[in-house]
Chains A and B, each alone.
Chain A
Amino acid sequence: GNSVTQMEGPVTLSEEAFLTINCTYTATGYPSLFWYVQYPGEGLQLLLKATKADDKGSNKGFEATYRKETTSFHLEKGSVQVSDSAVYFCALSDGSNTGKLIFGQGTTLQVKP
């Protein structure tokens, strides 16, 4: 079945450091891929998405490229800020009529000043 695997957290970085959070997936067909972010005490918010191979999603300085050959969708940011501290979820949608997103387990990012 479809699944998403994220790197274990927490990830602790200093402000202005480079961020990578790894995400790999297993899916049949051609899924769409998403990154969601969850700030403390809040629900998840869509950060970026990519709907086909080689697409790059980007938002707020974050980027992720849909790599079909390596079944990956790694999240990157060139210079993190304290305000980026949150839990990040990688997810996939297989486009079926269930509308279901399959989420990874989440990666906690802590950015220290």
Chain B
Amino acid sequence: EAQVTQNPRYLITVTGKKLTVTCSQNMNHEYMSWYRQDPGLGLRQIYYSMNVEVTDKGDVPEGYKVSRKEKRNFPLILESPSPNQTSLYFCASSSGGRYNSPLHFGNGTRLTVT
């Protein structure tokens, strides 16, 4: 089954404790992206990657890092989480960002930072 898999689904942590949210897709997609979803704000792009070893900032990249060492994986790293990063996070992939291919989303990771 074609899917984007995120882990964990739920995560509670404390300020400053480094964490990683994993994302993997099995559709051989070149394009991957991370969004955060906050009430009243819709989804905002954090980082994106057009292909392996190519990443770039989205609209709200502060406090986040990503890497794209393999085509299928695109982990989101919070080096020093803060309470304002409490949010619902989605990983997404598509076959080509430039050509408006539809995004396939994971089921989300709900992060709480206390």
Contacts and interface: CB of A to CB of B under 8 A. Distances in A.
Interface of A: 4, 32, 34, 36, 41-46, 49, 51, 89, 93, 95-101, 103-106
Contact of A46 (B44, B103, B108): B103
Contacts of B103: 36, 44, 46, 101
A99 B42 contact: no
B61 interface: no
Interface residues of B, number: 28
Nearest to A100: B45
27 contacts: A4-B42, A32-B100, A34-B102, A41-B108, A43-B90, A43-B107, A43-B108, A44-B43, A44-B103, A44-B105, A49-B100, A51-B100, A93-B100, A97-B50, A97-B97, A98-B58, A98-B97, A99-B31, A99-B33, A99-B94, A100-B59, A101-B43, A101-B45, A101-B103, A103-B42, A103-B44, A104-B42
B105 A45 contact: yes
Given A44-B43, A99-B50, 10 more contacts: A34-B102, A42-B108, A43-B106, A44-B103, A51-B100, A97-B50, A97-B98, A100-B45, A101-B45, A105-B40
A44 B103 CA distance: 9
A43 B4 contact: yes
B49 to A, nearest CB: 9
Contacts, number: 66
A43 B105 contact: yes
